[in-house]
Structure 1
């Protein structure tokens, strides 16, 4: 754990940890919650669901989810139910040959900005481990809305399990740091383009783009956002059926489309 890497050994894992593993040459990471006994609960596309982008990015996202090699795994074959996308897998199937990393919570602004990639840490603090595990197990039975790479992906699922926070407006990007990074990169390039009018210094333009990128990540982090609400997992499970969720921190009813 540290500035350059969140890599962790399997024997150091504890129930309630938010873990992830990079897929497809470090382009995309798959996230989940370690619940103990070598098991991970995580969120992916349910069978028959579209990935949700309609772009070449869909090819990358096909690598997410548990081992789908066609070879039965004796450790988790009886525990996989992909009808709603939330699944339980053994740790090895979750990693799918990748390296194990642990997501960091409650990091300082300096450490957050020093991280080159989104989707590895957050300014938000985690709830107690027993609450995290309860949320993950509850959602394993009830699902976690419809999968969408930008609004409701595996990292959003893990962050919710850790914090109980959801983005109130579904018309915007979700909590996912890696989704914000995907959007932030092109945004930085666009916003830094006017800088070319005043300088031809390539280093100056690069510094401006990096600054915009880091600022967009920082402002959009779930620990800074004002469009998030605390939702109890039982209320979320009930809201999946009714399309309305109860915000625990405000008592307000929130319109929240639950169906795909």
Structure 2
């Protein structure tokens, strides 16, 4: 993995990889799980890669990559489909560049990344388990899309780790959501520290330090409000509206998560 970029070639992909592509002049990235045979399973809101439910969607869509109006011969998804879908790699990238999300990175490398949503301190589960989760959720869903609590990156991170945030009132696993919130938050939190230095560069360094610390503490590999949930249990909890789990960080075996054969 490079310090500045996680860009990879298509030929280096393997089933179980968490991939992403930047959209709208690097405003946000769309994430998914590569399952092999040129297919990607990913999570959307009514066909939109970022759905806020506000007028902001119009800006994001208009500034995003131009899409072909010709129907894809590989993808057979109906227009306006939402939830967990499967697309060909070309449709997933939509003309963008291919990047691979990295797991189990060192703290120094994590902090060196200026932007969240590219790597995590958390370990990934075996590839066959990751593909199994993605295919299972393709058939059973991943709940309601929420840009800050349950988005495409949250979906991909769950597939890779099996970890979910248990407190519904808090932000999800998404690193880019933390970055969006963390920037203004860092500026606010660093304001009381202005007495330390009146130098503009010193104040900027303080804000960056607060921002990096907030990103580090909010990473899925560091959080204490997460729990390992088997994919079969996840879908049953979603169906009954009982996703909340009481005790975080309880080790859970994966005996019920039986990987599907890789095609």
Unpaired runs of at least 5, structure 1: 252-260
Change (3 A) 1:65 1:162: farther
User: Normalising to structure 2: TM-score of the pair?
Assistant: 0.87
Question: Do the aligned partners of 1:236 and 1:246 also contact (CA within 8 Å) in 2?
Answer: no
- 1: CA distance, partners of 2:222 / 2:238: 26
| In 1: Cα distance, 2:122 partner to 2:46 partner | 28
Cα RMSD over matched residues? Answer: 2.5
Correspondent of 1:211 among 209, 229, 254: 209
Residue equivalent to 1:104 = 102
1:86-97 mapped onto 2 (5 Å cutoff) = 86-97=84-95
Describe how 1:129-208 pairs up with structure 2 within 5 A.
129-208=127-206
Distance 1:127-1:186 versus aligned 2 partners, 3 A rule: same
Query: Alignment partner of 1:239: what SS?
Result: helix
Corresponding residue for residue 24 of structure 1: 24
Alpha-carbon separation, structure 2, partners of 1:128 and 1:198: 47
Distance 1:200 1:24 in 2: 35
Change in Cα spacing, 1:159 to 1:28, as seen in structure 2 (3 Å) is same
Aligned to 1:244, the other structure's residue is in SS state coil
Runs of 5+ consecutive residues of structure 2 not aligned to the other structure = 253-263
Task: Report the Cα distance in structure 2 between the residues aligned to 1:152 and 1:166, rounded to whole angstroms.
Answer: 10
What residue in structure 2 maps to residue 39 of structure 1? 39
Determine whether 1:249 maps to 2:236: no
CA contact 2:65–2:96 (8 Å) conserved in 1: no
CA distance in 2, matches of 1:134, 1:82: 25
TM-score by length of 1: 0.88
**CA contact 1:80–1:88 (8 Å) conserved in 2:** no
> Is the 1:44–1:65 Cα contact (8 Å) retained in structure 2?
no
Tell me the CA shift for residue 62 of structure 1.
3.8
Shift in alpha-carbon separation, 1:60–1:121, aligned structure 2, 3 A: farther
Q: Distance in 2 between matches of 1:67 and 1:137?
A: 28
Report if the CA contact (8 A) 1:23-1:30 is conserved. yes
- Aligned length in residues: 248
- The structure whose RCO (Cα within 8 Å, separation 6+) is larger is 2
Match of 1:255 in 2: none
Return the offset for 1:156.
0.1
Displacement of 1:69: 4.4
Compared with structure 1, are the counterparts of its residues 173 and 134 closer, same or farther at alpha carbon in structure 2 (3 Å cutoff)? same
Q: Partners in 2 of 1:65 and 1:242 — Cα distance?
A: 36
Quote the offset at 1:198 in angstroms. 4.4
Q: Secondary structure at the match of 2:32?
A: strand
CA deviation vs aligned residue, 1:98-138 (integer Å, no higher than 9, x gap)? 00000000001010000111000000000000000000001
